[in-house]
Amino acid sequence: MDLGIKGKRGLVCASSKGLGKGCALALAEAGVDLVLNARGAEALDATADEIRSRYQVSVTTVAADITTDEGRAAVLEAAGDLDILVNNAGGPPPGMWSDWERDDFIKALDANMLTPIALMKAVLPGMMERGWGRVVNITSQSVKSPIPVLGLSNSARAGLTGYVAGTSRQVAPSGVTINNLLPGIHATDRAIGLDTGAAEAGGISIEEAKHNREQTIPARRYGTAEEFGQTCAFLCSQHAGFIVGQNILLDGGAVNATL
C-alpha cells in the first residue's frame, strides 16, 4: 500500500534499536526522510547505515539523551520543520511500590511523560501552520492494564495518555493527529532484560521465563519490532487522518478486555 508520505520529514526518538528502530525502518520504506536519535552513537550510526542502504531516504543522526533539555534542543535543531514525530525513550526500571521516592518519579515522568510533551509542544505549531502532521507516542499496554512491577511506567504513561486525549482534539482541526501505540511484549532488548529478571527471581532459565510469558499471550508469541513499525507507519500515513487521540494496543490479545 502507498502510504502517501514519500518525501515527508520525520523524527524518531530512541531509535537505534527495538521498537523505535522498527518505526524508523517502516517510515523509511514509505519514503520518509529521517532524523534518528539514541544516546549511544555506535548502534545509532549502524542503524542509520542500514536504513540508507535499504531505502533511498536521507538519514541524519543525533546522539543525545532525549530526556534532557540539551538533548532535545540538539535533536530539534537537526530536525528542522517536521511532518512526523515518533516519541520514544527507554522505560523505567521495575520494582515495588514501596521502593520509589520522589526522585524516581521525577525521572520516570521526565522520560516518559514530560519529554514527549516538550517535543510535541515544540513541533505542533509548525505542523498546524502547514496544515499537516502526525505524532505517534510509544507508550505501553500498562496504560490499559497495569503491570504491578512497573509502577513508575504505569504512572508516567497514564499522565501522557491524559495529555494526549485532550491535546489531540485541540490540534485535529489543523490537520494534525496525535495517537498512542501501546506495545505488549515485543522481542527487543527490553524484553530480554525483563525475561532475565524473571529467570533470576524464579530460579529458572531465560528460555523458560520467555516460554512462561508467551503463554500469557493469546497469540502465544512475542510481537516483532517490524510489525510494530508498520503499524506506526500506517498511523503516520495519509490514510490515518481520521484516527485522532486513540490508544492502539499491539499485544497479541494479552489485555483481556472487550473494549
Q: Which residues of 80-100 are buried (b: 16+ CB within 10 A; e: fewer)?
A: eebbbbbbbbbbbbbeeeeeb
Residue of the chain from 3, 5, 9, 20 that contacts ligand NAP (CB under 6 A): 20
Closest distance to ligand NAP from the beta carbon of 129 (Å): 27
Closer Cβ to ligand NAP, 10 or 18, answer by number = 18
Place of cell 514509505: 30
Question: Reading across the β-sheet that carries 176-183, which strands appear in turn?
Answer: 59-63, 33-38, 9-12, 84-87, 133-138, 176-183, 247-250
Euclidean distance between CA atoms 137 and 158, whole angstroms? 12
197 touches ligand NAP by CB under 6 A: no
Residue of the chain from 3, 8, 16, 176 that contacts ligand NAP (CB under 6 A): 16
Size of the site for ligand NAP (CB under 6 A): 28
Question: 3-class SS at 33?
Answer: strand
Closer Cβ to ligand NAP, 12 or 171, answer by number = 12
Closest distance to ligand NAP from the beta carbon of 31 (Å): 23
Residue of the chain from 24, 48, 79, 88 that contacts ligand NAP (CB under 6 A): 88
Binding mask 33-52 for ligand NAP (x = CB under 6 A): ----xxxx--x---------
Closest distance to ligand NAP from the beta carbon of 85 (Å): 14
Q: What is the DSSP letter of 237?
A: S
Is there a contact between 119 and 87 (Cβ–Cβ < 8 Å)? yes
134 touches ligand NAP by CB under 6 A: no
Euclidean distance between CA atoms 29 and 126, whole angstroms? 25
Residue of the chain from 9, 12, 24, 91 that contacts ligand NAP (CB under 6 A): 91
Going by C-alpha positions, the residue among 115, 101, 16 that lies closest to residue 70 is: 115
Where on the chain is the footprint of ligand NAP (CB under 6 A)? 14-20, 37-40, 43, 65-67, 88-91, 138, 140, 183, 185-186, 188-191
